[in-house]
Structure 1
Amino acid sequence: MSDTLEPDDDQPTTDPVIPPGSARVLWLIVRREITTRFRSRVFRIMTPLFVVALLLGIGADALFSATGPTRVTVGLLATDGPTATALTATGKTGGLDVHTVTITDPADGERQVRAGTLDAAVTATGPTGLRVVVRHSLDDLSTAVFTAVARQQALRAQITTLGGDPTQIDTTVAAAGIHLDVLEPTDPHANSRIGLGVITGILIYISLLIFGPAVAQGVIEEKSSRVVELLLATVKPWQLMAGKVLGIGTVALFQLALYAAIGVPFGLRTGVLNLPAAIAASSALWSLLWFLLGFGLYALLFAATGALVSRQEDAAGVTTPLVMMIIIPYVIGISILPGNPHSGLLAVLSVVPFTAPLIMPMLIAAGTAAGWLIALAVTVNVASIVVLVRVAGRVYAGAVRRTGSRVRLTEALRAR
């Protein structure tokens, strides 16, 4: 018995080609959609191109967001051990890794600086400061470190001249500090989490815009080519609609999971995502879940609206309102989230069906979604899908067999 949905050429078209059983029928339709999408030229070309674009974007952000060198190699004379120690300690405080090496004399230091072996060489020290040799220029962070050490040494020299003990004073000064009482602690990873939320919204938005209309286009294509008449001779309308939604949704989920599996580790590796790996992985999993919920909502509507027309030229007329339903919450989310991640408007939209799949994963990634709000949003959106299955299924069944002019929504709902 054939596993395909096409009639066997050796048998009359009225013979059943699909074994009985809803699960078996549904699986064959899902497999047909998955195979078709994976084999399509657009999928095979665009998926690797998007992966490359994602990696290039993360790499460019890591490259151009760097503020300057974080490690410098400095040469000092063997007699300048205390200065070397002070440079290392001061650099560590300021976020600069100072690696010190010994030079034989000032000429040796200048020679190594010219050759690029050293970033800088301290050729003279004294109460009036440090003489530092560089090849071209000295960045602001390194300048601040050298200046702090020079002033520290000048202070020690002045204390010695006045009869004080510089070591005792250094110990006392080092022990002094501030005792901080923070009233409203901030998340040290807040900026990275907000950035991850924006990226999450963008990926879900693009995936919904690509694969949502693809459902409507597939329905219209089958209607215009009369393939749907052959399919409905052996399967029920709800099975055909559900199989198409599940099949295309599986391909879309695979693609989004691929982007997450590649982009998140690369972002962590390059430092673009400056947050714990567990938080990034959790956000990625939540994003996949919310994409499934969003695709379920929108794909059912796209399938139903696609069944109302019989030509691809008419597709825009019925799908444009749905596309706008995707665009509007996305624009609201990325506009408000960076400046106000605790926005009350975003909290409300994160629960409402059709806006929640785009807003809630942004809030989860940003760390501003409460647990109870996430649970409420999932419950509301799952319930909406259950209701929509019946409504969209009725529209699809009432319109998919009718070709020619556009079918009105009321006519499709009344059809038996």
Structure 2
Amino acid sequence: MRAIGTIWMVARREVKARFLTKANLVSLGLLLLAVVAGVVVMDYFQNRDTDEPTFTIALAEQTAELRPGLEAAAAGQDTTLDISTMGAAEAEEAVTEDLDAYISGDPAQPEVLVADEVDGQLLGLVTGVAQAHAMGSEVAALGGDPGAVSEAVAQAAPDVRSLAEEDPSGGMFGPAYFVAILSTSVLLFALISTGALIAMGVVEEKTSRVVEILLATIRPASLLAGKILGIGIVGLIQVVLLGGAAIGTMAATDLLADFEIDLTTAMLMIVLWFFLGFAIFALLFGGFAALVSRQEDIGSVTTPLTFLLFVPYYVAMFMVPNNPDTTLTAVLSQIPIFSPFMMPMRSAFDAVSTGELVLSVVLALATIPLLVWVASTVYQRGVLHTGGRMKLSEAFARR
């Protein structure tokens, strides 16, 4: 019971020292603003791309009969037409100022007056309506019914049937891919930042010789456990705030409203794999940091571990979207070092069964005790070592 109290005491100290500082709060606030701004910008460009095109045109009196056809064609193509009637005398000035086009002349072969270049979609609308008008005139001249012919032509369209299943997520590079990349990127940032904090904290205490005072009353294993727990709480707060800001902004802007993506499940997966990923990698950062005694040497420990984080991140980012349910992907996602990145990515593509998820969690939990032994052994034998960098083999060989 005393050991648990000691661990919590160290953890509270780490939270105050690492999270409640002005520099950390300012940087976290800037990150939150960046996340929210990024989602808002994405929503702006997405809505900009999907907004219905709008054209303002004017018709001469002799081409006014094209108006019903133009309105019907525009409605069929999700285009908005603002149509008015205007005389030729004022047409040029109006086209220069605010009109997209002025249409005059023979309805079967109209003249389109524009300020510079005509929009392709607008030209297609006018061309289609003029051709329909010409065909209707010819049919009427032959004694037929132009309305019946127009209806038959409108109904003469191919019926497309695809053998591929509909993908509600929007395909490989659709919203599912975006959510997956966002999830794993937030996780990578949290693990790297918290791992670096743990490593720097261990080396700072060694350099200042504070650790010698602490170890006079606290066992090394309790000191390391409290440090990892405290910084883990800091990392979890960052993950929840950043992930919550992204998901909340997406919900507020309806960025993914048209897609069947469960953002709540995505957030829960981030939190779950942050816990497991943090337990795996934080132990390595904390234990191996005790091998060095100077801040200048900390890169020799953090660089290999950071590289170890980037390998599964890039494997997940490039392999899963292309092959989310292949045998190789399924096997790699069960390896504890790969699981924190590959499982959230595969879940975003709905490629993970409940059995696979449970097995990956069990394997990760089973790995943690082994890593606890490795990290505590290295930490206890290296934390009081001074001088040059201790080799890993020396830490295990020392009694």
Band the TM-score falls in, shorter-chain normalisation: 0.7 to 0.9
How far residue 228 of structure 1 moved from its aligned partner, in angstroms, is 1.7
The verdict on how the C-alpha distance between 1:284 and 1:88 changes in structure 2, with shifts beyond 3 A counting, is farther
Q: Which amino acid aligns with 1:48?
A: G
- Match for residue 240 of structure 1? 223
How far residue 230 of structure 1 moved from its aligned partner, in angstroms, is 2.4
- Match for residue 151 of structure 1? 131
1:31 maps onto 2:12 in alignment:
yes
Q: Which amino acid aligns with 1:140?
A: G
The verdict on how the C-alpha distance between 1:48 and 1:172 changes in structure 2, with shifts beyond 3 A counting, is same
TM norm structure 1: 0.80
Structure 1 CA distance, aligned partners of 2:4 and 2:194? 24
- Match for residue 165 of structure 2? 185
- Fraction of identical pairs, as percent: 32
The verdict on how the C-alpha distance between 1:196 and 1:236 changes in structure 2, with shifts beyond 3 A counting, is same
How far residue 321 of structure 1 moved from its aligned partner, in angstroms, is 2.2
Structure 1 CA distance, aligned partners of 2:256 and 2:271? 18
Query: Residue 75 of structure 1 contacts residue 109 of structure 1 at CA under 8 Å; is this kept in 2?
Result: no
How far residue 294 of structure 1 moved from its aligned partner, in angstroms, is 1.4
Structure 2 CA distance, aligned partners of 1:303 and 1:323? 13
Structure 2 CA distance, aligned partners of 1:318 and 1:389? 17
Query: Residue 250 of structure 2 contacts residue 256 of structure 2 at CA under 8 Å; is this kept in 1?
Result: yes
The verdict on how the C-alpha distance between 1:146 and 1:268 changes in structure 2, with shifts beyond 3 A counting, is farther
Structure 2 CA distance, aligned partners of 1:27 and 1:85? 76
Q: Which amino acid aligns with 2:218?
A: V
1:39 alignment partner, SS class: coil
Structure 2: any 5+ residue segments left out of the alignment? none
Structure 2 CA distance, aligned partners of 1:257 and 1:124? 65
- Match for residue 74 of structure 1? 56
- Match for residue 162 of structure 1? 142
- Match for residue 294 of structure 1? 277
How far residue 287 of structure 1 moved from its aligned partner, in angstroms, is 2.2
Structure 1 CA distance, aligned partners of 2:394 and 2:128? 81
Deviation by residue 1:18-68 (Cα, 9 ceiling, x = unmatched): xx7344333222221112122335423432333344445445555667558
1:210 maps onto 2:190 in alignment:
no
Query: Residue 120 of structure 1 contacts residue 133 of structure 1 at CA under 8 Å; is this kept in 2?
Result: yes
How far residue 77 of structure 1 moved from its aligned partner, in angstroms, is 4.8
2:293 alignment partner, SS class: coil
Structure 2 CA distance, aligned partners of 1:45 and 1:305? 30
TM norm structure 2: 0.83
Deviation by residue 1:316-355 (Cα, 9 ceiling, x = unmatched): 2233321111112222233334554455443332221111
- Match for residue 351 of structure 1? 334
The verdict on how the C-alpha distance between 1:69 and 1:230 changes in structure 2, with shifts beyond 3 A counting, is same
Structure 1 CA distance, aligned partners of 2:102 and 2:249? 36
- Match for residue 136 of structure 1? 116
- Match for residue 378 of structure 1? 361
How far residue 376 of structure 1 moved from its aligned partner, in angstroms, is 2.4
How far residue 297 of structure 1 moved from its aligned partner, in angstroms, is 0.9
In structure 2, which of residues 245, 248, 265 is the aligned counterpart of residue 262 of structure 1?
245
Query: Residue 60 of structure 2 contacts residue 102 of structure 2 at CA under 8 Å; is this kept in 1?
Result: no
Q: Which amino acid aligns with 1:31?
A: R
Structure 2 CA distance, aligned partners of 1:158 and 1:414? 99
Structure 2 CA distance, aligned partners of 1:290 and 1:141? 49
Structure 1 CA distance, aligned partners of 2:65 and 2:384? 88
- Match for residue 335 of structure 1? 318
How far residue 85 of structure 1 moved from its aligned partner, in angstroms, is 4.4
Query: Residue 176 of structure 2 contacts residue 261 of structure 2 at CA under 8 Å; is this kept in 1?
Result: no
Query: Residue 336 of structure 1 contacts residue 343 of structure 1 at CA under 8 Å; is this kept in 2?
Result: no
Structure 1 CA distance, aligned partners of 2:381 and 2:90? 89
Query: Residue 60 of structure 2 contacts residue 105 of structure 2 at CA under 8 Å; is this kept in 1?
Result: no
Structure 2 CA distance, aligned partners of 1:125 and 1:265? 56
Q: Once structures 1 and 2 are overlaid, which stretch shifts more, 162-171 or 103-112?
A: 103-112
Structure 1: any 5+ residue segments left out of the alignment? 1-19
Structure 2 CA distance, aligned partners of 1:136 and 1:412? 77
The verdict on how the C-alpha distance between 1:125 and 1:401 changes in structure 2, with shifts beyond 3 A counting, is farther
- Match for residue 394 of structure 1? 377
Structure 1 CA distance, aligned partners of 2:264 and 2:70? 39
- Match for residue 40 of structure 1? 21
